[in-house]
Amino acid sequence: MGLFDLVLFPIVGAAGIVAISSVVKERGSLFGAFAIASLSFMAFALFQTVGLIPSSYWIEGYPPPLGVVLCADSFSLFMVSLFVLMGIIVTLYSLKYMSEDSGLEKYYALLLLLISGLTGVAISGDLFTLFVFWELMCIASYALVAFRKDRWEPIEAGFKYLVMSTIGSLIALYGISILYGMTGTLNIAEIASRMPSSWTVEGYFSIAMIISGFGVTAAIFPFHSWLPDAHPAAPSPISALLSGVVIKAGAYSILRVLFIVLGPARYDFGTMLLILGVATMTVANLLVFPQRDIKRFLAFSSIANVGIIITAAGVAAYVAYHSPADIYVAYLALAGGAFHILNHAIGKGLLFLASGNFIHEIKSRDIVDLEGISKRMPYSGASFSLGALSLGGIPPLAGFWSKLIIILSLLYMSSAPLMMAVAVIMILNSLFSAAYYIWLIQRISFKPVKADGAKEAGPLMLVPVLVLAVLCVAVTLALPYFLEIMNSVANALLG
Amino acid sequence: MIYSATAMALILIGIYCIATKHNMIKIIIGIEIICAGVNLNFISLAWDGQQSDPLASSVVLVSIAIGAAIAAFALAFVMNAFKQTGSSDARKLRRLRW
């Protein structure tokens, strides 16, 4: 079984929850416990797979190129472990946060389908399987964004998300069909080997389609406008999941298709990614300041962080195409990008869950109403500050190191003027993000208390937040160990 | 060649439809037109002069099913929006900045 278990357990769990719900109605905690159980089985299957990479699995025993192939390298397993981790934490958090809603069997079933789709995207070995799991993930996330369907905001944000994201996935499928037309197969390894050795116009066309298609979900600059609406409209645990892992799945698909299928040595997509990445982070960082809604604030910061990840990928591709002699810089940049994926998933998950604690307590998302709330909710407030410091890139914490690695890789290429320009813009952006996060901490923690009646959240909502805060520190302390993992991720992408 | 050009034209028509129409149902029709264009492109690229590649046909069948799922889901959104605003006009959903 192996790899297939990873997608099977959550799907079986989702079916099981729906089946149970026809017998026992409205028992949210039971469904939640069931969801956590199936995710734990998935985590167990993941531990068994780690030793076996790179491994592949043929569904129904049909070999490639016709059969459906799942395959995993260290990049896929890195992403899958992130999905399982965030999935378990978010499900645990939902037990209390969502307990006042009805229809929870659908909520947990959709949550499991979302995790299953994400996992499938990460481990699929052919492009069409990737697309099928991609749509599973997308449809589950539309439904979760609009879960509180009696209010106007989730419906509106959900419909906007659905229209934009569906156009994006169809455009990406169009790019995949062009790759199919060039090589006559959909298997990722087969396409890479049958690809013409020099560049072609169709190749560049499919690159453009794939970046803009998957870029909608990854919230790259011109296609980011769904995200600041969808994140605040969704329930807080879902915002944590969307921001922590779903947009990373978009970045993952871009990296997987561009680096493995098309190859950075054949196609010069590095410049394109650099420009998009820099534009994404600059625009998003400028738009963070005017926000009054705390979840919109965090959503714009997510877009900025995706910009950093795309920039790292751009550096790697640029170096691999323009100066193959300095290939170690490409490895460094990709390792930094992968490390930033980890830091941002943990940090932004922590921020959304901690702000969910605030929102659950005072029923307002306005930063003005939240001023000084850390004094009433010390544990949530301290965890929130920790996450904000990490994402703001304040030195000892992990977020600083991932940004530093990417900036260092830019500075290594000091002979290329484009790279120096990007380095300067990125340093300015990092300073800017440090400034607004510290400003946010100052308002949450040190201003006079606005909401006097607020009390610390219960243990079920506090434990996931504290676990993420501990992880945030643990990643910093175990830095050499994590850098080794990131190095193998970069190796998986560059070969 | 003519099929690929038609596929491209269908995709552009779909995007035009989504960009200009205000009725939510018409927006969903636009999505379905893009979906049809992409499927047509797959089928047209499967022909190698003598025979058609069965891989593309199976891919397109699954893709049609996914398109139907998205349409069904989007129509559920339209129903909920209709319950709240009493119309299927996307301009009524303008409280967020588009």
Phi first, then psi, for residue A70 (nearest 5°) are -110, 135
CB A239 within 8 A of CB A232: yes
Please give the pLDDT value at position B87: 75
* Domains, chain B: 1-94 (1.10.287.3510)
Contact B70 A162 (CB under 8 A): yes
In whole angstroms, give the CA distance from residue A479 to residue A402: 10
Please give the pLDDT value at position A45: 83
Please give the pLDDT value at position B96: 53
Q: What tens-digit pLDDT sequence spans chain A (495 residues)? A: 577 888 888 899 899 988 888 888 777 788 888 888 888 888 888 888 777 766 777 766 666 666 778 888 888 888 999 999 999 999 999 888 888 887 888 889 999 999 999 999 998 888 888 999 999 999 999 999 988 888 888 888 888 899 999 999 999 999 999 988 888 888 888 888 888 877 888 888 999 999 999 999 988 988 888 888 888 888 999 999 998 899 999 999 999 898 888 888 888 888 889 999 999 999 999 888 888 888 889 999 999 999 999 999 999 998 888 888 888 888 888 999 999 999 999 999 999 999 998 888 888 888 888 787 878 888 888 899 999 999 888 888 888 899 999 999 988 887 888 888 889 999 999 999 999 999 988 888 888 887 777 777 788 888 999 999 999 899 888 888 888 888 888 888 887
What is the DSSP code (8-state) at residue A461?
H
**A159 chain-B contacts, CB cut-off 8 A:** 24, 74, 77-78, 81, 90, 93
The C-alpha of A181 sits at a distance from chain B's nearest C-alpha, in angstroms, of 5
Q: Please calculate the CA angle A184-A186-A191 and round it to the nearest 5 degrees.
A: 70
Encoding tokens for residue A329?
């810089």
pLDDT band at B35 (very low <50, low <70, confident <90, very high): very high
What is the DSSP code (8-state) at residue A245?
I
CB A137 within 8 A of CB A212: no
Helix (H, G, I), strand (E, B), or coil: what is residue A195? Answer: coil
What residues are paired with B23 via a beta bridge?
B89
Encoding tokens for residue A221?
């600059």
- Search chain B and give the residue with CA nearest A186: B55
Instruction: Give yes or no for residue B98 having a pLDDT over 60.
Output: no
Task: Tell me the three-class secondary structure of A309-329, residue by residue.
Answer: HHHHHHHHHHHHHHCHHHHHH
Encoding tokens for residue B79?
């129903």
The residue with tokens 């889901």 is: B73
| Residue A229 touches partner B, C-beta closer than 8 Å | yes
Among A416, A366, A411, A396, which residue's Cα sits nearest to residue A479? A396
Element (H, E) at A402: helix A398-412
Q: Which residue has the higher pLDDT, B97 or A163?
A: A163
Please give the pLDDT value at position A289: 84
Residue A134's alpha-carbon distances to A24, A109, A117, A238, in angstroms, are: 32, 17, 6, 17
The C-alpha of B43 sits at a distance from chain A's nearest C-alpha, in angstroms, of 9
Contact A174 B41 (CB under 8 A): yes
Among A40, A36, A31, A155, which residue's Cα sits nearest to residue A101? A31
Please give the pLDDT value at position A1: 55
Alpha carbon of residue B11 to chain centroid? 8
Say what the ipTM of the complex is.
0.93
What is the DSSP code (8-state) at residue A464?
H
**B45 chain-A contacts, CB cut-off 8 A:** 177-178, 180-181
The whole model's pTM is what? 0.92
Whether the bond between A196 and the residue before it is cis, its omega within 30 degrees of 0, is no
Residue A29's alpha-carbon distances to A12, A17, A94, A97, in angstroms, are: 18, 11, 9, 11
Among A349, A370, A363, A353, which residue's Cα sits nearest to residue A441? A370
Encoding tokens for residue A380?
């949530």
**A128 chain-B contacts, CB cut-off 8 A:** 59, 62
Interface of B with A (CB under 8 A): 4, 11, 15, 18, 24, 27, 31, 34-35, 37-38, 41-42, 45-46, 48, 53-56, 59, 62-63, 66, 69-70, 73-74, 77-78, 80-81, 84-85, 90, 93, 95-98
